[in-house]
A and B are shown apart, each in its own frame.
Chain A
């Protein structure tokens, strides 16, 4: 009876075409950028968007941004997070160790040196691989911008000259300072917004823009301005200083 059952079931099975039991997992060797993108999907896509665009946080699939910020700073941000921002540092938890070509190389190197690496070294390596993979995937042909992106190397800003810059370059989309409602792109002088974003965040936003959302970068083109009108490093510092001053005036 039992045998009959098995034969019968096998018959069903053939009919359903479900015969193939899945093969045991094959070891897939990924390229560095594939491995990086899988880690990106796991750890970053929630805020930065599925393909590095259209997320709530900064667009990362932006070759110029990646080139300007540079490999070292990107590794540091991935490991330690953005100071004062929402981006957490992922240094404390391992990135998933997808086997990538570069990892495979590392393993062989490790065997050559016959020295076991410390956890910190391994982590640092993983993050370096991750950033390299990301640069491979999204950073091709990116040109570093001549203007310093970091607030640390930026000139000091002047709020009152920044006000003029805001009025000509930003106001047509972001509205007059202090109006938190009714403007096409939404207010950037909303005190709550300013409390949530750092000066660095503001500087990066002005410098790199949001190409995926139609916000121009420092090189424009800006609405109602000559097409070759660009922002200088000083102007960006000024407008950041001005935005900051609107919030501190309120508090």
Chain B
């Protein structure tokens, strides 16, 4: 009985194997030998792949419920979040796993760059990897459009504006991107097609190529100072070393991948459960100027760079920088495909890496913490903190009104409420003297517009009089060392009692 079952099963397996060659295809993949010293540094690529798989699975599930039409997208996200059991968790996983995937891809790339694993004979692997990086970023960008909220709208608007700046064909490029001259239903449809069909397909194809190249060339060893890559001898030496000291991928290297992927999975699952889905923020409506749109983390640095860049150089930078970056990344292994691999022998590479990482990190950090947008309704909705009005003279009270009426608090905060665009005014009287305040109000400066033409001298006097009362407890009024004392202008000078003088 058992023997006959064995015979049938064996026969079936043999039949399948003889026709598909599955085992003879997979077995070498699983058991191919990898360098013994390839330890925890080599887990990031696998983790990227795992997060991509999660994206595929959650993405397919989301696609069953998401309505890719401009009129319904927002509603369908609300439906997924609030009506579908664990629908919000699905969206949360898709969002956080996408962030994690970008992070893993960047870490993986950093490791490959710092260990110079892109050198001979793995140049093509690096190039395919660079293309995968762009696919990942494109997936992230198009995915953010799927939310079809304020962030998506403004993200598209900025993307379209960048396209528009391309000389000669700018308008056509924008029309291709948006499906017309402006953001509408066609825009969402084509970004949906990109996000769901084109880019994932391309990514899967490129991952296939990336993997095939790994098997073809083997993974690189840990770099050792003095172990120089020479295209003439490298392949033979590598194969000999692997034959002597290598270990099979399964289970020696794969088990580390699995442990790391498992930890990452738990982490992202916990993040998703704790932080919930990302967006959608407000409805995409360009007439709502009281919006504070932010791109997702991966693009915050671009957002910050554009915000900080002087307008004169914007077009030049936007059109020249991307091709240079792409060419530099793709061409890197061609420019340097031999020689030392150890970071300690490649100070230039390490310094460039630290520099780039610092710049991108700083720009991202600024994008997270900086308040870019004024609080448009602060002037009517945020009360002047009552403690700042106690014991003030009628003139100073009028100054408090001038401050509200001139919408100062849309950019400046009082008592922690108001815009963060300018410095807070809670103790501005300790920082600036009467004269400095008058100058600042009238002439502006440091991103502040000049109010000299908008305020009468009485209004300026009143608002400055109010501001000089905004001081830390018991701090004296600020004066400039060596400057003239606050002048007793006719408006400010003590007068003789009118009753005596007038009669």
Q: Interface residues, chain A, CB within 8 Å of chain B?
A: 1-2, 4-6, 8-10, 12-13, 16, 18, 21-24, 41-50, 54-57, 86, 88, 163, 167, 174, 176-182, 185-193, 195-197, 246, 249-250
Contact = CB atoms under 8 A, between A and B. Distances in A.
Contact of A5 (B265, B389, B499): B265
B383 A191 contact: no
What are the 9 A-B residue pairs with the smallest beta carbon separation, nearest first? A186-B393, A178-B495, A56-B400, A9-B269, A195-B458, A54-B386, A177-B498, A13-B273, A193-B395
A42 B377 contact: yes
A159 to B, nearest CB: 10
A16 B274 contact: yes
Q: Interface on chain B toward A: helix, strand, loop, or mixed SS? A: helix
Contacts of A179: 494-495, 497
15 contacts: A9-B272, A12-B270, A13-B89, A18-B276, A42-B381, A46-B384, A50-B386, A54-B389, A56-B389, A167-B499, A176-B497, A180-B494, A186-B396, A187-B395, A196-B402
Contacts of A5: 54, 93, 265-266, 268-269
A2 B384 CA distance: 53
B46 interface: no
Given A1-B265, A23-B82, A193-B462, A57 B401 contact: yes
Nearest to A42: B381
A73 B70 CA distance: 46
Nearest to B88: A21
Given A45-B383, A56-B384, A178-B497, A6 B82 contact: no
A196 B462 contact: yes
A46 B86 contact: no
Interface in B59-94: 78, 81-82, 86, 88-89, 93
B379 interface: yes
B394 interface: yes
A56 B397 contact: yes
B327 interface: no
Interface string B444-478: 00000000000011110110010000000000000
Given A22-B82, A196-B398, 20 more contacts: A2-B53, A5-B93, A5-B266, A8-B269, A9-B273, A46-B382, A47-B400, A54-B386, A86-B405, A177-B498, A180-B395, A181-B492, A181-B494, A189-B498, A193-B394, A193-B462, A196-B395, A196-B458, A249-B502, A250-B490
B493 interface: yes
Which of A188, A192, A193 gathers most chain B CB within 10 Å? A192
Interface residues of B, number: 63
Nearest to B493: A180
Contacts of B50: 1
A181 B494 CA distance: 6
A24 B381 contact: no
Contacts of B268: 5
Interface of B: 50, 53-54, 57-58, 78, 81-82, 86, 88-89, 93, 265-266, 268-270, 272-274, 276, 377-384, 386, 389, 392-398, 400-402, 404-405, 409, 456-459, 461-462, 465, 490-499, 501-502
Contacts of B382: 45-46
B384 A178 contact: no
A47 B491 CA distance: 25
B395 A190 contact: yes
A164 B497 CA distance: 13
A74 to B, nearest CB: 17
A180 B490 CA distance: 10
Contacts of A195: 456, 458
B266 A8 contact: yes
A23 B83 CA distance: 9
Contacts of A21: 81-82, 88
B486 to A, nearest CB: 11
Contacts of A8: 265-266, 269
A205 B380 CA distance: 22
Nearest to B270: A12
User: Residue among A2, A8, A163, A174 with the most chain B CB within 10 A?
Assistant: A2
A46 B378 CA distance: 8
Nearest to A250: B490
A13 to B, nearest CB: 4
A41, A54, A56, A182 interface centre (most CB from chain B within 10 Å): A56
Contacts of B398: 56, 86, 192-193, 196-197
A1 B257 CA distance: 14
A185 B93 contact: no
A191 B394 contact: no
A177 B57 CA distance: 80
A246 B394 CA distance: 16
Contact of A178 (B377, B381, B459, B496): B496
Nearest to B377: A42
A177 B393 contact: no
B82 A2 contact: no
Contacts of B492: 180-181
Contacts of B270: 9, 12
Contacts of A185: 393-394
A4 to B, nearest CB: 8
A93 to B, nearest CB: 10
Contact of A186 (B377, B394, B501): B394
A16 B273 contact: yes
Contact of B462 (A22, A49, A192, A246): A192
A18 to B, nearest CB: 7
Contacts of A6: 86, 89, 93, 269
A190 B498 contact: no
Nearest to B268: A5
A9 B495 contact: no
A246 B491 CA distance: 12
A170 to B, nearest CB: 11
A86 B401 contact: yes
Nearest to A188: B394
B493 A41 contact: no
Contact of A177 (B81, B88, B381, B499): B499
A178 B273 contact: no
A153 to B, nearest CB: 25
B383 A46 contact: yes
A187 B393 contact: yes
Contacts of B273: 9-10, 12-13, 16, 18
A187 B394 contact: yes
From B53, B269, B456, name the one whose CB has the most chain A CB atoms within 10 angstroms.
B269
Contacts of B386: 49-50, 54-55
A181 B396 CA distance: 12
Nearest to B389: A56
